């Protein structure tokens, strides 16, 4: 049995969330500057039923009683050195010469990427410089970035350091020029990834060719 009836009811009008970016605020900042509020409308509809079950609905009229007020959220975008957890190779061109492995009776705790002296070295992820110095031996002129998410990266044997302790860098920023300082047999970059201060194989996190 088919029947048609007219009904009138109120309907909620959902609100949207609008995000506003502010490059003057840190990327950790997030605040609601306007609360969202649903609107309301009165709807008149014709409902067709078949054997008591709704089969179709035609809207005849819709009157808005109150408009929805959108929620507005402000988020900061200024880099404060918090890493993404996804790393990029810190050189644009290189020769992969030595892997993370045991050699000469000790762990080689990173990878070696041969490159001409003076080649730009880039931050593998957003971070904060916690070491930028000449080790006197070993790493030579080296940098450690703290990505403030459990990860750190180390860049060794540089000819020149372009950042200082306390600097905040973004992924891809130039931080050094490659070199042959410290315990090195030729110009290259020694690159390490550390997780909770433990050295791990960088090839778990990026692809080297």
CATH number of the domain that residue 140 is part of: 2.70.70.10
Cross-strand partners of 61: 44
The secondary structure element, H or E, covering residue 167 is none
Residue 84 maps to a domain: no
- Please indicate, yes or no, whether the overall pTM of this predicted structure exceeds 0.75: no
Contact status, residue 111 vs residue 96, Cβ threshold 8 Å: yes
Residue 160 maps to a domain: yes
The burial of 19, by beta-carbon neighbours within 10 Å (0-12 exposed, 13-18 middle, 19 or more buried), is given as exposed
From first to last of its 209 residues, the chain has per-residue pLDDT tens of: 889 999 999 999 999 999 999 988 988 899 999 999 999 999 999 999 898 888 899 999 999 999 999 999 999 988 889 999 999 999 999 999 999 998 777 888 999 999 999 999 999 999 999 999 999 889 999 999 999 999 999 999 999 999 999 999 999 999 999 999 999 999 999 999 999 999 999 999 999 98
Contact status, residue 181 vs residue 188, Cβ threshold 8 Å: no
Are 199 and 100 members of one domain? Answer: yes
Of the residues 43, 78, 113, the one at which a domain ends: 78
Cross-strand partners of 189: 113
Are 175 and 145 members of one domain? Answer: yes
Are 143 and 190 members of one domain? Answer: yes
Residue 108 maps to a domain: yes
Q: What is the count of structural domains for the chain?
A: 2
């Amino acid at each position: 049995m088919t029947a048609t009836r007219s009904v009138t009811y109120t309907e909620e009008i959902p609100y949207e969330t609008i995000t506003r970016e502010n490059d003057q605020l840190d990327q950790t900042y997030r605040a609601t500057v306007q609360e969202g509020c649903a609107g309301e409308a009165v709807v008149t509809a014709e409902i067709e039923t078949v054997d008591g079950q709704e089969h179709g609905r035609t809207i005849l009229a819709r009157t808005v009683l109150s408009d929805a007020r959108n929620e507005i959220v402000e988020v900061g975008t200024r880099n404060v050195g918090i890493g993404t957890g996804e790393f990029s190779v810190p050189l644009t061109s290189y020769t992969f010469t030595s892997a993370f492995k045991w050699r000469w009776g000790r762990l080689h705790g990173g990878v070696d990427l041969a490159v001409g002296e003076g080649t730009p070295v880039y931050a593998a992820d957003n971070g904060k410089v916690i070491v930028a110095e000449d080790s006197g031996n070993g790493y030579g002129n080296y940098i450690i970035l703290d990505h403030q998410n459990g990860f750190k990266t180390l860049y060794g044997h540089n000819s020149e350091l372009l950042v200082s302790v306390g600097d905040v860098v973004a992924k891809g920023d130039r931080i050094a020029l490659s070199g042959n300082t410290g315990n090195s047999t030729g110009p290259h970059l020694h690159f390490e990834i550390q997780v909770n201060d433990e050295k791990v194989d960088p090839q778990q996190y990026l692809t080297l060719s």
